[in-house]
Amino acid sequence: GNPTVEVEVELESGATGRAIVPSGASTGQFEAVELRDGGDRFGGKGVLDAVDNVNGDIADAVLGMEAADQRGIDQAMLDLDGSDNKAR
């Protein structure tokens, strides 16, 4: 299979949540495009750039936001991305 990204968040209360991003044929037509590294790792399908985005810009954008404000979190990530097809 293709490498994929798994993200875990921890709230101030200690509660945690986890999400795993689908890859390949399981992705839907309205989902974000897959961000792949290119190069030699995993036949160009590595995800280190995506992991860097999560640990850097995305974490910076959502840190401190209210977890129940899913619309606000979604909008913060859409604003951060800035592309029509969520390609950043």
CA-based nearest residue to 57, from 72, 43, 39, 78:
78
CA-based nearest residue to 4, from 31, 36, 32, 28:
36
Answer whether 0.75 is exceeded by the pTM. yes
Q: What is the pLDDT of residue 9?
A: 95
Q: What is the pLDDT of residue 80?
A: 92
Asked: is 6-81 a CATH 3.40.50.720 domain? The reply is no
Q: What is the pLDDT of residue 82?
A: 84
Instruction: Give, for all 88 residues of the chain, the pLDDT tens digit.
Output: 889 999 999 999 999 999 998 787 666 666 778 889 999 999 999 999 999 999 999 999 999 999 999 999 999 999 998 887 777 7
